[in-house]
Every structure is written in C-alpha cells, then in structure tokens.
Amino acid sequence: MRPFDFETHNADLPPRTRINSILMLLTALGMFALGMYYRNDALTATVAFRDEINGISAQLPANWLINTDDPNVVLRVEDVGGSGFNTRIQISIQTVGPDATPRNVIDQLSVQGPFQFPSYGLLETRSIRLGEDEATLIEYYYVASETNPFLETIPVVVQGIDLVVIRGNQAIIFTFQDDRRTFEQKRRYFDRFLASVEY
Amino acid sequence: MSKRFLGFCAILLTILLFSSTHATAQEDGQPLVILNENNIKQATVMLMQVSDETGQPVIQCVGTGTLISSDGLILTNAHLVTENRDCISDRIVVALTIRIDEPPVPSYSAEVIEINRGFNLAVLQITRYLDGRSVDKRRLQLPFVELGDSDATTVDQTIYFFGYPDLEGGAVQMMRGTVSGFTAEARVGERAWIRTAADVPGLFSGGGAYDRDGRLIGIPTVLPNRVAGEVLDCRVVYDTNGDNRINDADRCIPIPGLIRAIRPSRLALGLVRAAALGIQPGPQYAVYESPPNTAQPIFENLFLATSVNEAGMPVSIVSRAPSGISSLYLFFDYRNMTDGLIYELRTTVNGRPDPTFSLPPVTWNGGPEGLWYIGNSGTRYENGTYEFTLFIEGRQVDSISFVVGGAPNPTPQFSDLVFGLENSLGQLVGANYVIPEGNVIRARFRYQNMEPGVVWRFQWFLNGSPLAGEGASGTRTWELPEPQGTFEDIAIASEAGFISGTYRLQLEIERENGFELAVLSDVVVAGGAGGIDAAQAQIFSDFQFAQNQQAGFPIGLINDEFASGVGQIFVFFNWRQISPNTPWTYRWLLDGDVLFEEHTRWAAEPTGENFYLSLVGLPTLPDASYTLEILMNGIPLTREVTVDVGLGQLPVEAFASAEGVQVRGRIIDAETGQGIAGAMLIILRAEFSVEDWVWDESQVLSRAQADRNGYYQIPQLLPRGTTESPILYSLLVRADGYFPVSQDGIPVTDLTSSPIEINVVLNRD
C-alpha cells in the first residue's frame, strides 16, 4: 500500500485549465529562480577597484561605501547598510626596511593596537599563503563604542584580521573588521576580495 | 544605482523639518517668541571640580556652564573652574543633559583655555573622555547656543535663565525673570552687570541668561556669601577624606545665595573669539603679581557722584540729589586689597534692602589700592534715604547715607576736573589724566552757583599720601563774579620736577556743616613730553614686532608683516618714567575687535628697553591684523601698533567650524513605530544629488548611525546658504531589512534654526 493515497477528481478539468495551471506553476517557479538569481547576484556583485599609483587592483563588494580620500589608507570600503558596526575592508601600506618580514609588521601592529582601539586583544597569529606570497595574519578584537553621549549605543565587540604581505620596501596590510556576531558570516566578502586582489 | 533607489516605490518617507521643540509664550500682549528651550537645556552643562585626594575622584565644587560651540567650548564663571581656597581640584568634569528631564551625566573632562578673572569669565575646551582618552573635538558635535547682543538688553525685558538648581541631582531648569537695571563698575564702565530681581538659585552661576530668541546675553554670576570670611552655606555631601563617613571632617561644597547680577555676554566676546581661533596671550617681560597682604583690607572715603568721565573719575560729587535722578555712582578708595577677595555692596532704601542698587558678592580684581566705583544708570532712584554698605569677605567695612528727594538745590559746585601742561604763558594746555613728568601740574575745573566769598580748599596727593609744601594745599576765598565758568588758576610746581606716580587733586567747598568734598580726580604722571598729542605724555615708544625673543631681545624675523602659519608674535617697545605699581591696560585687537584686555599694574623698572608682550597661536596664529593698544587711566597711549599675519584679515571660513546647522532625528519602523538600531543616514555634499550617488565617500558630507532607539545625530554642521540662495542637501537612509529611502532638496539658509530634526520612516522590504 502506498503511504499516501489521494483520490483525485481532475478528470473533469478541461485541458486549457490544466495547461494554465501548469503554466502558472512554471511561471512562479521561473520567477522564484529569477529572484534567487538576482538576489545572489546582488549579494555577490562586485565593482572593480584599481589604484594606479600603488599598483593595486581588486574586486570590491558592490553597494559598499568606497573611501579613497583618507591619506592613511589606500582604500577603505564599508557596508553602511548593516545594523551595527559597519563591516570594513581596508588596504594600507607601510614603508619597511629591506630585511623586514611580515612578522615584523605584525609585531608593530600588535603593539599599536592597544593605543588605537579600546580593550584591544590578540586572538591568533599565523602564516598563510596569499597567491604566490608568504603572508602573516593576526586576528584580534576590540570594543567599538559610540562617542556621542547623546546617543544610546551599546558597544560592539569587533573582530578583525590584519593580513600582511611584503612587496619590496612596502608592507601591504589587508584588513577586515566586523561585528563579532556576524564576522564568520561576512568573512566571505574578505575571502572573495583576497582572491581577486593583485598587487 | 540611483535608479534602483527610485525604483523602490513602496517607500514611505516622512521628513519633518522643524526646529526642535519650541517653547512659545505670549506675555503682556507681546508677540510670540521662539525660545529653543530643549536645545538650550542640552547646551547647559554642569561643571564639577574634582580631585583625587583619597585615590578616588571626589566632587569638590559644582556650577553651571554653557556650550557655545559644537566642538566643545564652554563659557562659564572663572571662579567655578579655577582652584581656590574653597575648592581644591585637579580636573574639571563636564556633565551633559542627555535626556531633558533627567539629571546630567558626567561625560567629559575639560581644560581652561581662556580666562579673565576681572570679568569672572572663562572658556573651557572639552579635551578628554572620563577614561582619559583624548577627544577629537571636530567630531564632538555637541548642542550649543549662540551669543546674543547684551547691549540691546533693556529694563523690564524678559530674560530666561538656565542652570542646575541644586546638589540633589536635579535636571536642568529654566527660570523666567526680568531685567531690573544695570550696574556700572570701575574698569568695565557702564553695563558691567545686568541686574535682575528674579530669585535665581546660586548654582545657576556660570550658566546662561537668554533673550526671547534664545541667544545668550549674559552669564549669571555670584560667589558664595560669607560672614567674617567663612562661607555661609556650605554643604557636606561627599566623603572627601576617605574615612567612609560623611561628617564635618569632610570638605563641604559652598552654595552661593540668590543671583542678582549677570555678566553681559559682550564681555565674553573676546575670550570666545580667542578660544575659537586658538589664540592665547604668550610670555611677557614682567607680570604683575598681587603682593601677599597681611594688613586688613580697607574701603574708605566713600562719596557719591551722578556721572563718571572716561578716566573713571567722578564728574562732580554730590551729598544729596533731587527727585528724579537716574544715575548714581558710589566711589571709594581701597587699600590692602588682594585680587580674589570677595566684596559686596548692600543697599537699603528707607531701611529696606534693595537688590537693584546692591551688588552681590563678586570677585575683587582691582589690585592693592586705588579708586573704585559701583553705580547705576538708567534706573530711576525713588525718593528716600539710601544706605550703601560695603563688605569685604562678609565683613562690613564702611557705609554712607544719601538722600534722594526734593527740588534741585543750586548750591556751589565744582566739576569736570582735568589736568594738563603749562605753556610759556602759564596757561593750561590739553586736558588729560596722563601727563608727562615736569615742573608743573596744572588743573582746570568747572564751577556752578559760585559767588564771591565762598570758601574752598584744595589738597594734592601722591600715591595716596598728602603732599606738603607750597602749593600742595591751601584754603581760598572765591573772588570771581560769574556764578559759573571754568577755573584754571590751580597748579602745583616743583623745581626738582615731579616724580612719576599717581597724583590726586581734591577740592572741597565750605558749607553749613564744614568743608564738603566737591570734586577729586587722579592723574598719572609718567613719561616725557611728545605723546600722540601735544599735551600728552610719551611713555611707550619704538614698537617693533618679532617672531621670537631671546634673553629679552627680539630675534627671528623683525617686521610688521609675517607670513601665514607663524606660531607666535612678540611686540617689543621701550618705556620711560613709569612708577612701579602704576595701573595700566593693554589690549590686543584682531581685525579691530578686542581679543584680550588686561588691566594690570606696572611691574618692571621705571625706565627701560624691550618690554615685550606676545600672542601665541594654537597651533598657529590665523591670518589677521593684530593691533596692540596701551592705556592709562582710560587714555589711549598708542596709535596704529599693528602687525599683519598672512592676508592681514581673518579668512572667511575662520569660524566655519562653529557655524552651521546641526541635524538630528530618529529613524523608525513604519509598522511598529520603533527606532531602527544601526540604520545609516547619509547627507551628500551640496554639489551631489541622489541621482549622482555612486557609493563614493568623497560625495558624502557626513553620515550617522542610529542608536538603539533609532536616534541619530550628524557629526558635522551643515554649512548655511542664504535666503536668496539656499544650499540644498540630499540624504540617503539605509537599514538592513528595509527599503532604502532618499530625498533631494533639503534647504539650509542663514535663517534655518539649528538644530533641525529629520525623522524618517522606513518600510520593511
């Protein structure tokens, strides 16, 4: 015996109605598929970034706010549509000596961190490969709080990554920062960015 | 991307542009007023002087202040933010009114950047968060008020006071009162104080008094009442000695009495301007310091005059006045005073205290000795017997009784006593209160109602002591037949020449009860002939500007023009024959407006070269024209001592950071009405519209994120346009899970009141 046994009474439906129902179903499925396609496209859409002066190019998430005016960084992009800390990807460059290693730069960043960010702490340091290059990465956290006393904003624990590669006498630092609660979920933006970056 | 924005048709955007809560009032048939009460309340801060004596921060003194710029400048009383005998502290904590009806919340610490102890005014800059982190003042964007025109204040005008009334943690309060008159005071002149009869709590001191348009016209000022030097009302609130008990062993917080006097905002303009531009007085050759004085401070020789001349001297002295007078000045000599003492005038009319003609406890800043006055003008004196009583540190020191009433009585009178040089014919030349050293000091005065036979006498003084010898004093009988005219036949001569110092001529007329004071005046003898007019002393000369000094000599570029970006300027000059302790005044003007004014006493040797004063810019002096003026006895002694920096005038945008429109509001969910935490509001630069938006930060003027209740505040002031040519701004609002919204064409003009509230309603996507 079949687990479900339905008694059907569609023998009386005229063929046109049956075809219309099928077409409607197919249309709905098609629209759903199209919606999913556009949604995924919107979520994964990118814009090209190219900095001729520093010789860096990458694909950036679309609809993120792009800042190239800050003299301290090459690029900063932020997701300003979020609800809380704005997810951030950043490229900065430091001049280093000819014998410098990524680890030297990481040590310097680790020392500077507590002076830049409240409640700064290190989570992990490890070496990875970025394309052909050796890179060193640190994960850290700090507390971001609203400084305007007229606004009631609960501080956010921010998790961040600084990834350092050496290019000649320059250390290129790729940074990703996000609210600790959505860090893993949004890290794919950083991974896609790293996969596209050329320097 | 703009098409995408426009495509979201299901957007409900409600932008409500209005000045934040307006309190309106209609009184006595006068037109409705717009007083931005909530903004003023939020700009009114509580100031706490705090010390860490026991390892824990303990509040030592409290008062009120007012935010006068979005980047954290606070105007208040100097005595509230400087360490003094009542208040030992190591930092100043600023508590803000976050919610209008709640007590203030300690939020920042601040530092004094400009101060004028004579006016009892100071400007603070918020510098740190309470955890010690530095504040980026450009990002503060605090609510603030603008200074109004205190000179436009009139008697019976309604004014509004804002401050924190008590120590019990109450919310900021507004009180209404009226202007009851104005008080004149030596060194400031007319309208040194705005008077009110309203019962304003003493802890409002340092706060603000506002006109109907919500502009700051004065700073309510009072010091704690004292009896025999001890604070009358001092409350023990905190465990200041760390013994876990609150008792008499703990330091108490002094509480002032009711406020009756308001410092006009006019006197704060220079300080505020200097603070906004980052200019401070720099090093100088010699600084006068009030000597420690163990002798009893004294006020004596009280007398009254109905008017005061430009040198701060009585025009004529009266012993009674007819009905209907509207100005009266109480003069007195003072000795053994120390700056910082508290003095007070209490006045009774027919035995009843009259606050209008009194002066509440205020800080002394007149130096050790001299002539002082307190007066009123523009207020009718009712008939009656006035008793003026002076107090120092709560101790009664002297009093005088005075009758107003009856018809004018044409008694003999002297007035308008001035001094000058003697020409070859023995005639007086010029009319002045600063004359050069020489062999003769000649005086001139006017007389009225005189007749032959009236006996009068004169006495010359030097630095408070009567002079002896021929011509130093004498008694004469009036011989001139005319009842009124000008008398010049009075002079004192010295073959050896008069030494520099402050001289006084005192004239008395014999009346029924003996000799009565008719007129007196002080004259400073200093310098040599050849001042800026024929009869004036030349005391200061050879002015030159330099970039720096070393061992008292100008170094670096010496010029009257400097390039932009100079960090400091020094002005050097020579001087001659100034007696030590002689009062003098110097003031710096910036593009013609007074920046600093310092009344002090001569602290260098009598004659010398390269006295210097300086100005320091933080970090650099702005482009402008800087002028130094030096005065003695109110008489200008310099002309066109000016240096140009850069363009020689302030750049148009010099005060741009302090001007503009603040934007704040709330972003809420259309369905629930709840605030949307984290929603982002972006305001584009005026040259971009929503259609131009390509997610580039360079298009963004400013942006803000909503707090957990949906409230936001844009951290930058929107530059204003004009009524004819408003600046139109565009905004974008985004939040996770909601349709984004946008709006073009939000106008900001010179008439747009600040802050404006933009409330946004978003629909879920």
Q: Is the pLDDT at A62 greater than 50, yes or no?
A: yes
Peptide linkage before B619 cis (omega within 30 of 0)? yes
CA distance A146 to chain B (A): 9
Give the total residue count for chain B. Answer: 765
pLDDT at B478: 95
Q: Is the pLDDT at A159 greater than 70, yes or no?
A: yes
Tell me how far apart the alpha carbons of residues A180 and A156 are, in angstroms, rounded to a whole number. 8
C-alpha distance from residue B413 to each of A43, B303, B351, B508 (Å): 95, 15, 29, 9
Region A179-189: what's the mean pLDDT?
93
In this chain, the answer to whether the domains covering B2-16+660-762 and B298-404 adopt an identical fold is yes
What stretch of H or E contains B303? Answer: strand B298-305
Short-list A164, A186, A166, CA closest to A177: A186
Highest mean pLDDT among A147-151, B3-7, B305-309: B305-309
According to CATH, the topology of domain B413-529 is Immunoglobulin-like (2.60.40)
B736 to A65: CB separation less than 8 angstroms, yes or no = no
Which position has the higher pLDDT, B741 or B4?
A: B741
| Token representation of residue B305 | 């005059």
CA distance B45 to chain A (A): 13
Alpha-carbon radius of gyration of chain B: 30
> Would you list the domain boundaries of chain A?
10-41, 46-196
**List of chain A residues whose C-beta atoms are within 8 Å of the C-beta of residue B135:** 147
Res. A166 pLDDT band, cuts 50 70 90: very high
B692: helix, coil or strand?
Answer: helix
CA distance B687 to chain A (A): 17
Does the beta carbon of A48 lie under 8 angstroms from any beta carbon of chain B? no
ipTM of predicted complex: 0.79
What stretch of H or E contains B727? Answer: strand B727-734
The per-residue pLDDT for range B602-629, each reduced to its tens digit, is: 999 999 999 999 999 988 999 999 999 9
Res. B11 pLDDT band, cuts 50 70 90: very low
**List of chain B residues whose C-beta atoms are within 8 Å of the C-beta of residue A64:** 695
B735 to A83: CB separation less than 8 angstroms, yes or no = yes
pLDDT at B10: 34
CA distance B713 to chain A (A): 8
User: Closest chain B residue to A64 measured between Cα atoms?
Assistant: B695
Q: Is the pLDDT at B228 greater than 80, yes or no?
A: no
Q: Is the pLDDT at B304 greater than 50, yes or no?
A: yes
Region B433-440: what's the mean pLDDT?
86
Res. A39 pLDDT band, cuts 50 70 90: low
Tell me how far apart the alpha carbons of residues B524 and B718 are, in angstroms, rounded to a whole number. 53
| Cβ–Cβ under 8 Å, residues B700 and B745 | no
Q: Is the pLDDT at B159 greater than 80, yes or no?
A: yes
Tell me how far apart the alpha carbons of residues B3 and B698 are, in angstroms, rounded to a whole number. 20
pLDDT at A64: 92
| DSSP 8-state class, residue B268 | G
Q: Is the pLDDT at B656 greater than 80, yes or no?
A: no
pLDDT at A43: 62
| DSSP 8-state class, residue B297 | P
A67 to B697: CB separation less than 8 angstroms, yes or no = yes
- Which residue in the block uniquely carries the two structure tokens 């009474």? A9
Highest mean pLDDT among A28-42, B21-35, B36-50, B129-143: B36-50
Q: Is the pLDDT at B585 greater than 80, yes or no?
A: yes
Res. B34 pLDDT band, cuts 50 70 90: low
Region B121-150: what's the mean pLDDT?
89
Give the total residue count for chain A. Answer: 199
| Cβ–Cβ under 8 Å, residues B684 and B699 | yes
B677 to A83: CB separation less than 8 angstroms, yes or no = yes
Tell me how far apart the alpha carbons of residues A197 and A189 are, in angstroms, rounded to a whole number. 12
Tell me how far apart the alpha carbons of residues A124 and B77 are, in angstroms, rounded to a whole number. 53
The per-residue pLDDT for range B748-759, each reduced to its tens digit, is: 988 888 788 899
The answer to whether the Cα torsion of B59, B63, B67, B73 is positive or negative is: negative
Classify domain B298-404 at the CATH class level. mainly beta
Does the beta carbon of B67 lie under 8 angstroms from any beta carbon of chain A? no
Does the beta carbon of B757 lie under 8 angstroms from any beta carbon of chain A? no
According to CATH, the topology of domain B539-653 is Immunoglobulin-like (2.60.40)
Architecture of domain B37-264: Beta Barrel (2.40)
Architecture of domain A46-196: 3-Layer(aba) Sandwich (3.40)
A84 to B677: CB separation less than 8 angstroms, yes or no = yes
The answer to whether the Cα torsion of B557, B559, B562, B567 is positive or negative is: positive
Which of B138, B695, B712 best tests the A interface by mutation, with the highest count of A CBs <10 A? B695
**List of chain A residues whose C-beta atoms are within 8 Å of the C-beta of residue B70:** none
Amino acid at B594: V
CA distance A97 to chain B (A): 32
Q: How many CB atoms lie within 10 A of CB A51?
A: 15
pLDDT at B533: 57
Q: How many CB atoms lie within 10 A of CB B573?
A: 20
Region A102-130: what's the mean pLDDT?
89
| Cβ–Cβ under 8 Å, residues B457 and B474 | yes
Mean pLDDT taken over chain B: 87
Does the beta carbon of B100 lie under 8 angstroms from any beta carbon of chain A? no
CATH 2.60.40.1120 fits B2-16+660-762, yes or no: yes
> Would you list the domain boundaries of chain B?
2-16+660-762, 37-264, 298-404, 413-529, 539-653
**List of chain A residues whose C-beta atoms are within 8 Å of the C-beta of residue B734:** 80-81
| Strand B641-645 relative to strand B561-562, pairing | parallel
Which position has the higher pLDDT, A71 or B388?
A: B388
Which of A39, A64, A83, A158 best tests the B interface by mutation, with the highest count of B CBs <10 A? A83
Tell me how far apart the alpha carbons of residues B434 and B503 are, in angstroms, rounded to a whole number. 10
B709 to A83: CB separation less than 8 angstroms, yes or no = no
CA distance B691 to chain A (A): 15
Which of A65, A80, A151 lies closest to B711 in CB terms? A151
